[in-house]
Amino acid sequence: LRELSIGYEGLDRVDGSARFGFGWSFTGSAAALSSISGPIEVRLAAENPSQATFEVLLRPLSNVPGTESKALASTIRNLLTPSIILTQNPRTLVQLVVQALIPAEKFYSPLVASIINASTLALMNAGSIPMRGIVCAVSVGRFRSNIMPTSSLILDPSDDELSSLQGIGCFAFLFGTGQTGGSEVVWSNWQSSISFSEEELIKARDLARGGAEKVWIGMKQSVGRVG
């Protein structure tokens, strides 16, 4: 796992903001900037009388947000919703805006993991939205190997290693008590150019779980530094 860069930006006019990147600096590594506002006033059309409305807006670094941004925003909304206690602030809006900080034509797995982690950090930084857990995400890649029959898995592949991977995926885990074992998978996607077996996916998931635990520890240390 590369060194994590976590920063709390202190953006104006929003209630919480954070930056997350895999790699020791924010430039050149998969990094994302996110901001949270909430609970704030909601449009009448989107108002829910029993819970807060959670809205996610995702922006790539260049170009206007297209179909892929909207699809990923909808995915992130679904995976972050279990971690927020929305019933404590009905008829309000919790708005998350995430900006990808590296130029990429499509959202590849380390960037998606950064986006999820940055969103979680912004939610924690805001402080006004109650949460029941933390979602941490890491990406796992699968090396091409011609020699061995089984290929090896690598946690958090860096940009140079990406070209030699046969498959890559992102796993997101919800850390919170109430679940057995401490964390459960809330979302995963795995793409591979060759076929893979279920046990390989399970191995990838367990490797990712260890990485996500390290991300969790990194987040806790950042709270201790700031708070």
Read out DSSP for 145-204?
A: -SSSSSPPEEES--TTGGGGEEEEEEEEEEE-TTSTTSEEEEEEEEEESS---HHHHHHH
Is residue 4 a contact residue for other proteins (CB under 8 A)? no
**What single DSSP character describes residue 99?**
E
Rounded to a whole number of angstroms, the minimum distance from the CB of residue 196 to other proteins is 32
Is residue 41 a contact residue for other proteins (CB under 8 A)? yes
Of the candidate spans 68-76, 102-110, 130-138, 195-203, the one that interacts with other proteins by CB under 8 A turns out to be: 130-138
Bond before 39 cis per omega within 30 degrees: yes
Residues 3, 60: Cα–Cα separation, whole Å: 23
Is residue 151 a contact residue for other proteins (CB under 8 A)? no
Cβ atoms < 10 Å from Cβ of 22: 25
Is residue 171 a contact residue for other proteins (CB under 8 A)? no
Interface pick for other proteins out of 32, 86, 100, 126 (rule CB under 8 A):
126
Burial (CB count within 10 angstroms: exposed 0-12, middle 13-18, buried 19+), residue 87: exposed
Of the candidate spans 60-68, 73-81, 85-93, 139-147, the one that interacts with other proteins by CB under 8 A turns out to be: 85-93
Is residue 181 a contact residue for other proteins (CB under 8 A)? no
Q: With CB under 8 A, what is the number of residues at the site for other proteins? A: 41
Is residue 40 a contact residue for other proteins (CB under 8 A)? yes
**Residue 97 to residues 53, 122, 158, 182, 220: CA-CA distances in angstroms?**
14, 10, 25, 28, 22
Is residue 35 a contact residue for other proteins (CB under 8 A)? no
Which residues are at the interface with other proteins (CB under 8 A)? Answer: 10, 15-16, 37-42, 49, 83, 85, 88-93, 124-128, 130-134, 174-180, 216, 219-220, 223-224, 227
